[in-house]
């Protein structure tokens, strides 16, 4: 979420650091913005829609997000090697200055059958 109240999501295409190694910004591809005002209006009207319907695609191939305008930053890494998880935690902590970061491996369901796909 940014300081102007917008929530964005996308895949990090690149990151930028300053001379001292501090995070300056992130370049997102496939960026989307959450339509929070629309969600609030639907809540008042007692309308329920899937949360995916509140994400609006942002035109263009990439979007730059300034780190100094960032209030919260949630990252998901899809790593399986424990050493890579430790390295990811170290890098994020060193770039952001936040030391209490939780980095965990959540197994991907890609290529696996769900319970609803199982034969009866």
Q: Has this prediction a pTM greater than 0.75?
A: no
- Can you give the pLDDT at residue 115? 40
Q: Is 65 exposed, middle or buried (0-12, 13-18, 19+ CB in 10 A)?
A: middle
Largest pairwise CA distance in the chain: 60
- pLDDT by residue, tens only, the chain of 120 residues: 888 889 999 988 899 999 998 999 999 999 999 999 999 999 999 999 999 999 999 998 899 999 988 888 887 766 567 777 788 788 888 888 877 777 666 655 444 443 434 443
CA distance 94 to 109: 31
- Can you give the pLDDT at residue 88? 79
- Can you give the pLDDT at residue 114? 39
């Amino acid at each position: 979420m940014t300081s102007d109240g917008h929530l964005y999501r996308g895949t990090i295409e690149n990151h930028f650091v300053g001379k001292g190694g501090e995070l300056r910004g992130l370049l997102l591809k496939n960026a989307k913005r959450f339509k929070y005002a629309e969600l609030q209006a639907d809540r008042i009207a007692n309308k329920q829609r899937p949360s995916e319907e509140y994400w609006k695609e942002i035109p263009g191939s990439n979007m730059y997000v300034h780190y100094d305008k960032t209030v919260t930053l949630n990252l998901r890494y899809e790593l399986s090697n424990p050493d890579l998880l430790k390295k990811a935690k170290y890098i994020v902590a060193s770039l952001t200055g936040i030391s209490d970061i939780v980095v965990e491996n959540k197994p991907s369901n890609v290529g696996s059958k769900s319970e609803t796909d199982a034969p009866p």
